[in-house]
Amino acid sequence: MVFQTCPLACRVPYNPGSARRSRHGARQERLVFTKWIGIDLGTANCLVYVKGKGIVLNEPSVVALSVNDNRIVAIGNEARNMLGRTPGTIQVVRPMRDGVIADYMITEAMLRYFMQKVTGGFRLSKPQVMICVPAGVTSVEQWAVRDAAEQAGARKPAHLIPEPLAAAIGARIPIGSPAGNMVVDIGGGTTEAAVISMYGIVVSQSVRVAGNKLDDAIAAYIKRKHNLVIGSRTAEEVKVTIGSALPLHDNPAMEVRGRDQLTGLPKTVVVHSWEVTQALAEPLSQIVAAVRSVLEATPPELASDVIDRGMVLTGGGALLRNIDRLLAQETGVPCHVAHEPEKCVAIGAGLALEHLDVLRRSLPTDDEPLAAMGVTA
Q: What is the Cα–Cα distance from 264 to 269, expressed in whole angstroms?
A: 14
pLDDT of residue 84: 81
Question: Residue 113 and residue 216: Cα distance in Å, rounded?
Answer: 29
Q: Percent helix, strand and coil across the chain, each rounded to 5?
A: 45, 25, 30
Flag whether pLDDT at 189 surpasses 80.
Answer: yes
Over the stretch 107-122, which tens digit does the pLDDT of each residue have?
A: 999 999 998 888 876 5
Per-residue model confidence (pLDDT) at position 141: 86
What is the pLDDT, as a whole number, of residue 365?
Answer: 66
23 secondary structure, DSSP code: H
44 versus 366: the higher-pLDDT residue is: 44
d(CA 49, CA 351) in angstroms, rounded, equals: 9
* 57 neighbors 48 (Cβ within 8 angstroms): yes
Q: What is the mean pLDDT of residues 360-369?
A: 67
Amino acid found at 190: T
| Residue 14 confidence (pLDDT) | 44
Starting at the earlier edge strand, list the strands of the sheet with 72-75. 72-75, 63-66, 90-93
Domains of the chain: 34-162 (3.30.420.40), 211-279 (3.90.640.10)
Q: Which residue has the higher pLDDT, 45 or 32?
A: 45
**Overall average pLDDT of the 263-273 stretch:** 95
Alpha-carbon distances, residue 139 vs 134, 161, 200, 301 (angstroms)? 12, 13, 19, 32
The DSSP output letter for 126 is P
Spatial CB neighbours of 305, under 8 Å, sequence gap ≥ 6: 179, 180, 181
327, 334 Cβ separation under 8 angstroms: no
Residues 53-73 pLDDT 10s = 999 999 999 999 998 888 999
